Amino acid sequence: MRRGSSKRELAAQSEVEAVAAAKAETEANAGVTAGQTGVDSGAAGEPESKAGEQQPQAPGPGPEQPCAEEGDARVAPRRPPTLHAHKPKPARDLCPHGKPRVKGSSCRRSVRRPEEQSSQRPVTVDSSKARTSLDALKISIRQLKWKEFPFGRRLPCDIYWHGVSFHDNDILSGQVNKFPGMTEMVRKVTLSRAVRMMQNLFPEEYNFYPRSWILPEEFQLFVTQIQMVKDDNPSWKPTFIVKPDGGCQGDGIYLIKDPSDIRLTGTLQTRPAVVQEYICKPLLIDKLKFDIRLYVLLKSLDPLEIYIAKDGLSRFCTEPYQEPSSQNLHRVFMHLTNYSLNIHSSNFIHSDNASTGSKRTFSSILCKLSSKGVDIKKVWSDIISLVIKTVIALTPELKVFYQSDIPTGRPGPTCFQILGFDILLMKNLKPILLEVNANPSMRIEHECELSPGVFENVPSLVDEEVKVAVIRDTLRLMDPLKKKKENRYQQLQKPVARKEDSLDSDLAPDSSPEAHLPSICLKQVFPKYAKQFNYLRLVDRMANLFIRFLGIRGTMKLGPTGFRTFIRNCKLSSSSLSMAAVDILYIDITRRWNSMTLDQRDSGMCLQAFVEAFFFLAQRKFKMLPLHEQVASLIDLCEYHLSLLDEKRLLCSRGGSAGSHLSQGSSPQGACPAAQPVVGNLPLRTNGASKCSYPRHTLS
């Protein structure tokens, strides 16, 4: 302090020092409060955020809370508050960065900073249960620049990647890569029943699945039908393939020529199985039998969304093919294309070339066929049709599983799933469905035997090329932040309003968020081709009726009261079908189906039993039509009566307010639908008030 300072100057200096001290104390208190809040909410180890910077936000309801990653227990030390020197204010005609200020424009650098642009929060993926698909998943997450949690996370993640099945009651939000019930639905027996139900309705549309019999319940039917065909055609010498219901990787599969084979007797006593007609004339390449593994993404059940990968794998047998005979039935390396079997053959060829070896890309097979003049577009069209029809056969029961595990109104994740379709091309290039895998292998390495009993995992470039693309692009389609990224990119791509702002153009990205990635390998086939296949979704509509009358949330079987309510509300009882007859129908069908199914957790009528009862009712009511038209007409009738009932209930729920507007002479029934003109057997709507008027049934 200068010796000659006046009292006024001393007072001013003291005032400045008091303001600075108060400011320092305020900042210190704010830092302590923020630190305590971070520790109390589990935010140990999180770096302090800069003012105005966007923070990662956990999905799910509730306010945003800062939280550390799993296992991070360190607390970031707080820096002591510092007093910043006062910066000189810029001149009025200059912006804070020293640039000339133009009237009507703003300094963009003062509004948008690089760290604010560079990052939206990354999508979070829980890979703690990924199992064998972990390596491909890690590569995919790294390519997408997302955030992986290999040991789980306290806060919810955007996506959960499970290796086996859905069942995990701890997931209340986000997305999980499994559907409830999918593993059960694609088992050999369940898949055969689902496809057979569709074959009853549309035999020509579902002729891509081999004729099948379920053991042991249909063993006598199998013997009788085979004998009848042989009697009519003595030269017929069929071969059959037996597949255990719960088998995988070729386990327990064998071929037989006659139902009296002793091995079949042993199978009947051990576990359920499916016996199918063996495809004796497959397409051969290099004299070898092969099948196709295609990856199909079921993105959503309601609405139904299906994607097919543009490339897949072709798995080859390791012995030249010969038609089955009693001498070669046991040669599995000739007849079975399972990779897990043929890898143990001395003839198996590991190759990193996509067009050679015992495992190749499907695209390489198509190129070879194309060079021989094959219509590749026709082959792909037939495969797409097979996939869509198969998924349509599976979805009705999947909906029942879904509402059981994730009822409407209860918190839970949304689901998606990658399925593995195993398809065989016949010599005439017709695709045949062999099976569907709920958990297709996503391993990208193979075992190599260095010495007897000593194996090493060696990367497989063919597997990595196909499988990493499928997982990565599945994640891209399921990206919960995709719309936000696209909107933000579009905003940043808008041309600058004035030339003076072009100095900041290097801050705005000149490419989309996915510009560094290859084009997506998954092609949407439904609802893209919905118009061609919607007429097949009759069982899906029956499942909607079934779920409506289940009554109790979480159940999968319809009780007798629910079945009677269905008959009453849809007005299906008549003088020829009394309610007593309805009860007898329910008891007979339910008892028979419960004796065939292993799941006895709930008593009542399962969906397939309900469908059989529905077929019976349709055949009684519409006698002169083909079965699929009988069923479609009965569904139309049920949906019509239920729409009337819903409308009546809606009007009655507004009865208090609506009643005040009715004249005193009006009857309460005036609020309900009046008598309607009749066309055929059904009343016809004359007004457009109903959302679900009686639809006309047409077949493509």
Give me the amino acid identity at 577: L
How far is residue 667 from each of residues 642, 656, 663, measured CA to CA in Å? 23, 14, 9
Beta bridge partners of residue 276, listed in sequence order: 212, 241
Q: What is the CA radius of gyration of the chain?
A: 34
CA pair distance 432, 74, nearest whole angstrom: 58
- Quick: pLDDT tens for 136-156: 999 999 999 999 999 998 899
Nearest Cα residue to 207 out of 362, 390, 374, 335: 390
Q: What is the 3-class SS of 581-608, one letter each residue?
A: HHHHHHHHHHHHHHHHCCCCCCCCECHH
pLDDT-wise least confident of 183-197, 264-278, 353-367, 574-588:
264-278
Give the residue-averaged pLDDT of 342-365: 90
Return mean pLDDT, the chain: 78
- Quick: pLDDT tens for 554-576: 788 999 999 999 999 999 998 88
- Quick: pLDDT tens for 416-470: 999 999 999 999 999 999 999 999 999 998 777 667 777 778 888 999 999 999 9
CA pair distance 253, 581, nearest whole angstrom: 44
Give me the amino acid identity at 64: E
Between residues 264 and 240, the one the model is more confident about: 240
Which token pair is 249?
A: 């990787």
CA pair distance 658, 670, nearest whole angstrom: 11
Q: Please say whether the dihedral angle defined by the alpha carbons of residues 529, 530, 535 and 541, taken in this order, is positive or negative.
A: positive
Q: Is the bond leading into 81 cis (omega within 30 degrees of zero)?
A: no
Q: Is the bond leading into 303 cis (omega within 30 degrees of zero)?
A: yes
412: confidence class by pLDDT, cuts 50, 70, 90:
confident
Beta bridge partners of residue 558, listed in sequence order: 605
Which token pair is 9?
A: 């100057």
Tokens 């945003």 map to which residue?
Answer: 64
Give the residue-averaged pLDDT of 354-379: 94
Beta bridge partners of residue 254, listed in sequence order: 242
Polymer length in residues for the chain: 700
Between residues 92 and 269, the one the model is more confident about: 269
DSSP state of 635: H
- Quick: pLDDT tens for 80-89: 444 444 445 5
pLDDT of residue 656: 56
CA pair distance 450, 456, nearest whole angstrom: 7
Buried b (16+ CB within 10 A) or exposed e, 391-403: bbbbbbbbbbbbb
The rounded percent of the chain whose pLDDT value lies above 90 is 50
235: confidence class by pLDDT, cuts 50, 70, 90:
confident
CA pair distance 29, 327, nearest whole angstrom: 89
How far is residue 571 from each of residues 365, 646, 684, 689, measured CA to CA in Å? 56, 14, 16, 22
pLDDT of residue 99: 56
23: confidence class by pLDDT, cuts 50, 70, 90:
low
- Quick: pLDDT tens for 25-53: 555 444 444 444 443 433 334 434 444 34
Say if residue 500's pLDDT is above 50. Answer: no
- Residue 526: CB atoms within 10 A of its CB come to 23
Provide φ and ψ at 450, rounded to 5°: -75, -40
Residues 125, 149 contacting (CB under 8 angstroms): yes
CA pair distance 282, 288, nearest whole angstrom: 9
Buried b (16+ CB within 10 A) or exposed e, 162-174: bbebbeeeebebb
- Quick: pLDDT tens for 484-498: 776 676 666 666 445
Buried b (16+ CB within 10 A) or exposed e, 494-514: eeeeeebbeeeeeeeeeeebb
Tokens 């319809």 map to which residue?
Answer: 558
Q: Is the bond leading into 527 cis (omega within 30 degrees of zero)?
A: yes
Domains of the chain: 182-210+279-487+516-526 (3.30.470.20), 533-648 (1.10.238.10)
CA pair distance 634, 616, nearest whole angstrom: 11
Beta bridge partners of residue 81, listed in sequence order: none
Beta bridge partners of residue 100, listed in sequence order: 94
CA pair distance 432, 207, nearest whole angstrom: 9
pLDDT-wise least confident of 258-272, 361-375, 638-652, 676-690:
676-690
Say if residue 172's pLDDT is above 90. Answer: no
